Structure 1
Amino acid sequence: MKEKVMQIFEHLHAHGEVSWKEIETTNYLVALFEEAGFQPKRFQNCPGFSVEVSSGSPKVGLRADMDALWQEVNGEMKANHSCGHDAHMAIVTGVMHKLKEIGDIGGTVRAVFQPAEELGNGSLSVIQEGVIDDLDYFYGVHLRPFDEMAFPNCAQGIQHGSCVFVKGQIGGLDHHGARPHKGVNAIEVAASIVHHLGLTYTDPHVAATVKMTNLHAGTENFNIIPGKATFGLDLRAQTNAVMDELQHQVKTVCAQLSAMHQVPIDIEFFDYVPAAAVNEEAAALMAQSIEHVLGCPALPTIVTPGADDFHFYTIERPHLKATMLGLGADVTPGLHDPYMLFNHEAIFNGIEILTDVCLRTLQREKESAV
Structure 2
Amino acid sequence: MEKQSTQFKEKIYKTFSYLHANPELSWEEKETTKYIERLLRQSGCHSVKTFDDCTGVIGDIGNFSGDRPIIAIRADMDALYQEVNGVMKANHSCGHDAHMTMVLGVIWKINNNERLKEKIGVRFIFQPAEEVGAGALKLVEKGIVDNVDYLYGIHLRPIQELPHGYASPAIIHGATRSIEFEINGEDAHGARPHLTHNAIEIGTYIINSIHSLYFNPNIPHSVKVTRFLSGGKNTNIIPGKASLAIDMRAQTNQLMEELHKRVIDVIKTAQELFQTNITITNDYGIVAAELSEEAEKIAARAIKNVLGEDKLAQPIVTPGGDDFHFYKVKKPHLKATMIGLGCDLQPGLHHPNMNFNIEALFNGINIFTEILNLHSMED
Which TM-score bucket, shorter chain as reference? over 0.9
Find the aligned partners of 2:291 and 2:32 in 1 and give their Cα distance: 29
Match of 2:4 in 1: none
Query: Secondary structure of 2:112's partner?
Result: helix
Picking from 14, 22, 28, the partner of 2:21 is 14
- The answer to whether the 8 Å contact 1:59/1:362 transfers is no
Per the normalisation by structure 2, the TM-score is 0.94
Query: Secondary structure of 1:52's partner?
Result: strand
- The answer to whether the 8 Å contact 2:343/2:358 transfers is yes
Report the residue type matching 1:73 in the other structure.
V
Deviation at 1:257, TM superposition (A): 2.1
Find the aligned partners of 2:324 and 2:151 in 1 and give their Cα distance: 10
Find the aligned partners of 1:177 and 1:363 in 2 and give their Cα distance: 76
- The answer to whether the 8 Å contact 2:182/2:281 transfers is no
- The answer to whether the 8 Å contact 1:137/1:322 transfers is yes
Match of 2:80 in 1: 69
Deviation at 1:153, TM superposition (A): 1.1
CA deviation map 1:79-118 (0-9, x unaligned)? 1000000000000000011111212311111100000000
Find the aligned partners of 2:279 and 2:215 in 1 and give their Cα distance: 23
Match of 2:60 in 1: 52
- The answer to whether the 8 Å contact 2:44/2:111 transfers is no
Deviation at 1:13, TM superposition (A): 0.1
How do 1:264-275 residues align onto structure 2 when only pairs under 5 Å count?
A: 264-275=277-288
CA deviation map 1:307-357 (0-9, x unaligned)? 000000001111000000111111101000101011111110000001101
Match of 1:357 in 2: 371
Find the aligned partners of 1:93 and 1:319 in 2 and give their Cα distance: 26
Deviation at 1:152, TM superposition (A): 1.2
Find the aligned partners of 1:36 and 1:137 in 2 and give their Cα distance: 22
Please list every run of 5 or more consecutive structure 2 residues that lacks an aligned counterpart in the other structure. 1-7
Find the aligned partners of 1:121 and 1:33 in 2 and give their Cα distance: 24
Picking from 137, 142, 145, the partner of 1:132 is 145
Match of 1:226 in 2: 239
Picking from 194, 200, 205, the partner of 2:207 is 194
- The answer to whether the 8 Å contact 2:77/2:128 transfers is yes
Find the aligned partners of 2:207 and 2:219 in 1 and give their Cα distance: 21
Counting aligned pairs with the same residue, the percent is: 45
Query: Secondary structure of 1:40's partner?
Result: strand
- The answer to whether the 8 Å contact 2:61/2:123 transfers is yes
- The answer to whether the 8 Å contact 1:164/1:269 transfers is no
Residue 180 (structure 1) aligned with residue 187 (structure 2): no
Deviation at 1:269, TM superposition (A): 5.0
Report the residue type matching 2:115 in the other structure.
D
Deviation at 1:190, TM superposition (A): 0.7
Query: Secondary structure of 1:104's partner?
Result: helix
Find the aligned partners of 1:284 and 1:261 in 2 and give their Cα distance: 54
Deviation at 1:40, TM superposition (A): 2.1
Cα RMSD, aligned residues only: 1.2
Find the aligned partners of 2:44 and 2:268 in 1 and give their Cα distance: 59
Residue 112 (structure 1) aligned with residue 122 (structure 2): no
Match of 1:91 in 2: 102
How do 1:161-172 residues align onto structure 2 when only pairs under 5 Å count?
A: 161-172=174-185
More deviation, 38-47/181-190? 38-47
Match of 1:255 in 2: 268
Report the residue type matching 1:321 in the other structure.
K
Deviation at 1:268, TM superposition (A): 4.8
Find the aligned partners of 1:155 and 1:164 in 2 and give their Cα distance: 25
Find the aligned partners of 1:260 and 1:14 in 2 and give their Cα distance: 52
- The answer to whether the 8 Å contact 1:121/1:271 transfers is no
Find the aligned partners of 2:229 and 2:115 in 1 and give their Cα distance: 59
Residue 317 (structure 1) aligned with residue 331 (structure 2): yes
Picking from 276, 297, 303, the partner of 1:284 is 297
Picking from 344, 354, 374, the partner of 1:330 is 344
CA deviation map 1:26-80 (0-9, x unaligned)? 1111112222333422123211111111113110000000000011111111110
Find the aligned partners of 2:192 and 2:96 in 1 and give their Cα distance: 54
Match of 1:30 in 2: 37
Report the residue type matching 2:363 in the other structure.
N
Find the aligned partners of 1:214 and 1:134 in 2 and give their Cα distance: 42
Find the aligned partners of 2:357 and 2:57 in 1 and give their Cα distance: 28
Picking from 314, 320, 334, the partner of 1:306 is 320
More deviation, 218-227/280-289? 218-227
Per the normalisation by structure 1, the TM-score is 0.96
Query: Secondary structure of 1:101's partner?
Result: coil
Report the residue type matching 1:55 in the other structure.
N
Report the residue type matching 2:63 in the other structure.
S
